[in-house]
Structure 1
Amino acid sequence: MKNLLFALLTLPVGCNSPAATSADASSSSLLPVQAVSQRTTPPAPKAAMAYDFSRPAATYAMPSELAELSGIALAGSTHITGIEDETGNLYEYNLTTRKVDRVIPFGSSGDYEDVARVGADWFIMRSDGKLFRYSATGTQEYETGLSFANETEGLTYDAASKTLLVACKGEPGAGLSFGQRAIYRLHPETFKAEAKPAYVLDVEAIRGSTAGADAAAEKSGKKGKKKGSGKGFSPSAVAVHPVTGHVFVLSAKQNGIVELDQNGQLLAAQPLPADLFPQAEGLAFTPSGDLYVATEAGKSATQASIHLFRARGR
């Protein structure tokens, strides 16, 4: 089974750019695009993240209507807004009262995967590559040039470049192999995906790094229950650290998280404890760098949850 998985992950697939219109939209090169590859030596096991994902500072149990919680974004210091992958609603969750204050319909039913806030507007990504923008004037729809084949699951706002980033769970496009995963930058005016990915994830490099993390944990006697252990990587969420500018990418299927530097180089990869993360689906940073990670209820849990993690030493 392991040999079969390795063969599938490394099988080259001829993929085109997201769409022909994507290249046209990016021809003006208004933004620098980093086309990078992680085909480098995986970081040593000591390359750990600043967060201990086995020890949340706080945990928030979600109500039943958010059992399929698929994405989160901060809405000020007291609220988190979430979406779930069946109905076109935004759910404003109050971190103080631990209740949903308001449900805001933005669209019809659909497979919505992630949400990002830009100013007073909300952007929602659907799995077929369509982007929705909800504002005081209503909801607008945009074709990003990405498609259902790309399986667009992660969405975040990159404040430094003032653009949205989209992480693809499926085909990476841009001529990359299926052993890689792509994160695209959207044009700030047209919301079309740039022709070249902003960041490229190499599955084998991630596997090697996560294997090192597992070995280090075993050596120290910390054998906390893990699921997947990085034997593949299918992005389910993406977020940019507000202080370092590093890019964090979550994977629900393999239950892991990776950290890239601003140039897209792989810094660290860690498996997540299965008891805390039945199906990890959402990421959101506070301005100071605290990290919220959301998980669906999954098959083994009765409720979805959002966990808060503070950087080590804080």
Structure 2
Amino acid sequence: MKENGIAAAIIVGVLAFVGVMWYMFENPALNPRLEEVSYVISRKWNMPVPLDEISGISVVDENNIACVQDEEGIIFIYNLSTSLVEKQINFGKPGDYEALSIVDSTAYVLRSDGVLFEVANYLNPNFSVTQHKTAFTGKNNMESLTLDKKNNRLLLITKNKGPEDDGHKGIYAFNLENKAVETNPIIRISLNDPIFQSKDADDDDEIDPSFYPSDIAVHPTTNNIYILQSNPARLLITDATGKPIELHPLDAEAFPQPEGIDFGAEGAIFISNEGKNGTATILEVEFEEEKNE
């Protein structure tokens, strides 16, 4: 019995040491490598092997996050408390599924070719699936989807070139009442905004009008829009009209391939990373813009 107690104490000590080392490694106040970053990672979850290609997330409740990966037509319900996949919903054939949004009892999954899958009563064994073609079907690379609860719609944004002109990135709306995408963007983000100019660039350097969104989310209380980019890893925050507020570079070691973002009900930010040369993760992150609100 005494030996078991010693072994248990050793295990607890090792876990505590690993936790402290991770916290020091991932946070700017304690790690010189991160002195320039504008966020703090408060929690981290390593994904199981089936979610190595995690490409989209949507918060279900305070304990559960729904996830998709870009090879299988499966919705995974991941429990943050147990660090386990509690449920799998097989809704479609294998494909390039990139984004996910939970709206009450319905899950919406976006395939990269612009087809939107509506999985009604997704947690019920008798769920039903409806496919919606959008204005982007077969034309644009689509990776971003989120719920705009205030306006009862889903928001989409093209990753590469979209229907809008080169100087803007358009956000489009999928109306949850008539189940159709509005033809014109409801928000236009100017890629000529000075925020896209490198801080190290000279004043006369041209702004690089390129931004390739990998996911999008709307803050539950401020209605600010958070747009994630995977390569290079960074996060753009705009107001509800699309005016840029902050552009946060993300450290490549902590965010090797950020593909999904969503908010908890109280404003907690969750970002998922594909397992690029390592283990896929979900991180809970706090940004400076949030601290100052």
Instruction: Place the TM-score, normalised by the shorter chain, in its bin.
Output: 0.7 to 0.9
Deviation at 1:267, TM superposition (A): 1.1
Q: Residue 191 of structure 1 is aligned with which of 179, 182, 197? A: 179
Name whichever structure is richer in strand by fraction: 2
Q: Residue 264 of structure 2 is aligned with which of 268, 275, 286? A: 286
1:162 aligns with 2:152: yes
1:305 aligns with 2:290: no
Could you tell me which amino acid in structure 2 is paired with residue 170 of structure 1? N
Paired residue secondary structure (2:50): helix
Indicate the structure (1 or 2) with the bigger Cα radius of gyration: 2
Q: Is the 8 A contact 2:225 2:237 kept in 1?
A: yes
1:172 aligns with 2:126: no
Q: Is the 8 A contact 2:166 2:209 kept in 1?
A: no
Paired residue secondary structure (1:270): strand
Q: Is the 8 A contact 1:143 1:191 kept in 2?
A: no
Q: 1:181 to 1:231 in 2, by over 3 A?
A: closer
Q: Show the counterpart of 2:139.
A: 149
Task: Tell me, in whole angstroms, the C-alpha distance in 2 between the residues paired with 1:231 and 1:296.
Answer: 26
Q: Show the counterpart of 1:48.
A: none
Q: TM-score, normalised by structure 1?
A: 0.73
Could you tell me which amino acid in structure 2 is paired with residue 110 of structure 1? G
Q: Show the counterpart of 1:209.
A: 195
Task: Tell me, in whole angstroms, the C-alpha distance in 2 between the residues paired with 1:276 and 1:53.
Answer: 13
Task: Tell me, in whole angstroms, the C-alpha distance in 1 between the residues paired with 2:200 and 2:151.
Answer: 35
Q: Is the 8 A contact 2:167 2:191 kept in 1?
A: yes
Q: Residue 128 of structure 1 is aligned with which of 82, 105, 113? A: 113
Deviation at 1:99, TM superposition (A): 1.1
Paired residue secondary structure (1:186): strand
Q: 1:107 to 1:92 in 2, by over 3 A?
A: same
Q: Percent same amino acid at aligned positions?
A: 29
1:247 aligns with 2:235: no
Q: 1:271 to 1:214 in 2, by over 3 A?
A: farther
1:135-160, Cα deviation, whole Å (9 max, x unpaired): 23311111122123321110001110
Task: Tell me, in whole angstroms, the C-alpha distance in 1 between the residues paired with 2:210 and 2:237.
Answer: 15
Q: Is the 8 A contact 1:54 1:273 kept in 2?
A: no
Paired residue secondary structure (2:146): strand
1:265-296, Cα deviation, whole Å (9 max, x unpaired): 11111211101111111111011111001111
Deviation at 1:170, TM superposition (A): 2.1
Could you tell me which amino acid in structure 1 is paired with residue 98 of structure 2? E
Note the residue ranges of structure 1 that are not aligned, 5 or more in a row.
Answer: 1-51, 216-229
State the structure with bigger RCO (CA 8 A, min sep 6), 1 or 2: 1
Q: Residue 89 of structure 1 is aligned with which of 44, 61, 74? A: 74
List structure 1 segments (4+ residues) > 4 angstroms apart after TM superposition.
210-215
Paired residue secondary structure (1:277): coil
1:260 aligns with 2:245: no
1:69 aligns with 2:15: no
Note the residue ranges of structure 2 that are not aligned, 5 or more in a row.
Answer: 1-36, 122-126, 202-207
Task: Tell me, in whole angstroms, the C-alpha distance in 2 between the residues paired with 1:171 and 1:118.
Answer: 28
Q: 1:214 to 1:272 in 2, by over 3 A?
A: farther
Q: Show the counterpart of 1:107.
A: 92
Matched positions, count: 244
Paired residue secondary structure (2:129): strand
Deviation at 1:102, TM superposition (A): 1.3
Task: Tell me, in whole angstroms, the C-alpha distance in 1 between the residues paired with 2:139 and 2:167.
Answer: 15
Paired residue secondary structure (1:196): coil
Q: Is the 8 A contact 1:281 1:294 kept in 2?
A: yes
Q: Is the 8 A contact 1:231 1:254 kept in 2?
A: no
Task: Tell me, in whole angstroms, the C-alpha distance in 2 between the residues paired with 1:134 and 1:144.
Answer: 16
Could you tell me which amino acid in structure 2 is paired with residue 295 of structure 1? N
RMSD: 2.1
